[in-house]
Structure 1
Amino acid sequence: MKTWVIKVGGAVLNQDDAATELFKEMAKIATCHPSNQFILVHGGGALVDRWLSDAGFATAKHQGLRISPKEQMPYIIGALSGCANKQLMAQAIVANLQPFGCSLYEAGITVTQKLKALAQVGQCQVGKAGVLPELLAMGRLPVVSSIGIGPDGQLYNVNADEAAEAIASALGAELVFMTDVEAVLDKNKQPIRHLNAEGINMLIETGVIVGGMEVKVKTSLRAAQCLRRGVYISSWQKPENLSFLVGGKHAGTQVTP
């Protein structure tokens, strides 16, 4: 069996039926290519922003990462592991899949504090595979939120791209980042088919790649180096891209070591 870790941003929940269409594509692949299985890892930044704003909190970011003070964590956890996770599960059920919602702890990923300046933002320590292999063997679709728990019992908000990388590394899985753009774009807003370390550094230094996309391409490169193969950045707005990738065709931007 080939395992695919698919990371989606919370923006997929902002468009009616977008997640359902992606899940339907997964169900189609499971029928046509039964040797492939999926794990979904998700964020939910827009939802977190809304919940924090409604609660009267200001949102601040540093290099694309949300600063997460302890007093904001109940809202961040509720938005990600609660609302976003269950909304995605519901749409997976509509697509006739059998989702199983969990967080990074159940997925076997240990989390520690990233930087004190970021408060409860965590970084992943690749450990065991947790319950994911058993869930896959049962025909379930793990839907993993990017909330982690440390050995000290502290809860952490983890960048979902980094969470997906850690899970793919633990399982030796293929990795696809499905975002709201079809590919990484150059200075002329044209899709880039291939990127490596040199190209990524140049685009960051010239200000073409900034913010969340900077985190994404750096994470993609680190994952490609760890997995020793290319990973993809593609779009959930074109769910058929997932079938292209499973079938060995190109879609989006391939990041290579």
Structure 2
Amino acid sequence: MSGPIVVKVGGSVLDEIASMPGLWSAIASAHAARPTGKGVIVVHGGGRAVDEQIAAMGMTTRKHEGLRITPAEQIDVVVGVLAGVVNTRMVSQLRTHGAPAVGVTLADDGVVETVRENRYSADLGLVGRVTGGSGSLLRSLLADGRLPVVASIGCEAGGALLNVNADEAAMGAAEAAGAESLVMLTDVPGVLDEHGVLIASLDVDEALSLIERGTARGGMIAKIRSAADAARHLGRPVLIGSVDAVGALIAGEANVGTRIEPSRVRV
């Protein structure tokens, strides 16, 4: 075991935090089974909770290529939901199942560094991207036996809070912490082809070609980009799969989810 396992939780999973004991039990068990310092790090976004809170306040949610556009008047809502409600509920559920979970955000010192996102044609507002980071806080918590639960809220050098895509946040945490593997949980079995059939394995080029051909749409575009970036930077496979298969995904079992490989051996 070369490092921790990073598990990214998102999608409709976050709408049912209290009613998914199997998920939290599986993550808690995986953390407990690993050596101290090489446990599990959970990274999460906000699910529909952010959309619902924004709507309740009379505001509109807009997205660009699966990424939430975050104007200044909405950032406090996003922070409150992600770093407050969702993060605390996840910590509570993990602790209920015996995991020594601790809630943090990307903005905490020693997690990752973020800057404002500028890679897209649209102005995304207060949206950030990961630029690196020491991961020292994550490693310190793991060394103490803790299970970090990381909300995808960062901050830029000037102090402005940034909403970071949770897939990219997970990639950054995995890279900073020297993770053994990155598992991206979602509400679908994995990456699907144009016929809706699960694709078991893709290399980075094949994965990105799904975006170019228009096969990947909506939120899966950002997920594939993040998984491809992570596979390239980490130099190891990134797994995308259903929450129902979390145990098998964490264990690295074959024929579960979609494996995004850094490169494929050609014969």
TM bracket (short chain): over 0.9
Any residues of structure 2 matched to 1:92-241 within 5 Å, and which? 92-106=94-108, 107-115=110-118, 117-173=123-179, 174-241=181-248
How far apart are the structure 2 equivalents of 1:114 and 1:32? 37
Runs of 4+ aligned structure 1 residues displaced above 6 Å come to none
Q: Return 100-109 or 31-40, whichever deviates more.
A: 31-40
Gaps in structure 1 of 5+ consecutive residues: none
1:255 aligned to 2:257?
no
Using the size of structure 1 for normalisation, the TM-score is: 0.93
Letter in 2 for 1:109: V
Q: 1:121·1:157 contact (CA, 8 Å) conserved in 2?
A: yes
Are 1:39 and 2:44 an aligned pair?
no
Question: Which residue of structure 2 lines up, in the alignment, with residue 53 of structure 1?
Answer: 55
In the alignment, is the contact (CA less than 8 A) between 1:20 and 1:94 conserved in 2? no
Q: CA–CA distance in 2 between the matches of 1:175 and 1:98? A: 20
Aligned residue pairs, count: 255
Equivalents in 2 of 1:95, 1:242: separation in Å? 19
Asked whether the 8 Å contact 2:204–2:232 carries over to 1, the reply is no
d(CA) in 1 for partners of 2:133, 2:151: 17
- Identify the residue that residue 74 of structure 2 maps to in structure 1: 72
Secondary structure of residue in 2 paired with 1:144: strand
Q: Please report how far the alpha carbon of residue 198 of structure 1 lies from its aligned counterpart in structure 2 after TM superposition.
A: 3.1
Partner of 2:265: none
Whether the 8 Å CA contact 2:116–2:126 is kept in 1: the answer is yes
Instruction: Structure 2: give runs of 5+ residues left out of the alignment.
Output: 263-267
Superposed CA offset, 1:32-68 (max 9, x none): 4547510000001311000000000011111111110
> Equivalent residue for 1:6?
7
* Identity between Structure 1 and Structure 2 (%): 38
Counterpart Cα distance in 1 of 2:75 and 2:34: 40
Normalization by structure 2: what TM-score?
Answer: 0.89
Q: Distance in 1 between matches of 2:133 and 2:190?
A: 31
